[in-house]
Structures are given as structure tokens and as C-alpha cells.
Amino acid sequence: MATIQSQFEQFNNRIRLGRFDENAILREKRNIIRDKLETRLPEVFATHKETCPNFYFLDQRQLCHEYRHQAAGRRLRYRPGAVL
């Protein structure tokens, strides 16, 4: 009988993105969405005569960095590869 870990690894291998091509396409699409939000969201708020709230984007790397700093503040140790 197969273990859960081996089934997870098989699933992960099936859904894993290619290193460069697929990631580059996703980055381009993410940047398009970010650019549209940055330019159009203030316009939408302005048409409704409201102030657009300040916003910023966090990517996964920044979230991991923030998690490590929070964990250090609580005297927790960050382990590389740990699930956040």
C-alpha cells in the first residue's frame, strides 16, 4: 500500500510548474494585474467620489521574510522548508 508521502510527491510532480517558461508567463500575468490595479483602482474610487485606500503588494518571498522576523520576535525558530 502506498504511503501518503509518496502519493503527495506524485501529485506534486504532476502539478509542479516548469522552472523558467511557466514561471515567466505567470510573472508577466501577475505584473499585468498589478499594473491594472495600480492605475485603474484609483480611477474607480474617483468615479464614486471616494478616496482610494493605500495598498501594496506582497509576494511569497516577502511573506516568508516577514514570517521569519515575526518568529524571531516570538523566539520561534524558522526552519527552511517549514510550512507557513
Residue that has been written with the C-alpha cell 518568529 in this structure: 71
Spatial distance between the Cα atoms of 41 and 23, rounded to a whole number of angstroms: 26
Convert the pLDDT of each residue in 21-63 to its tens digit. Answer: 777 888 899 899 999 999 999 999 999 999 998 888 877 666 6
Spatial distance between the Cα atoms of 63 and 76, rounded to a whole number of angstroms: 16
If one compares 83 and 69, the residue with the highest pLDDT of the two is 69
pTM over 0.75: no
pLDDT band at 66 (very low <50, low <70, confident <90, very high): low
DSSP string over 45-56:
HHHTT-PPPP--
78 within 8 A of 68, measured Cβ to Cβ? yes
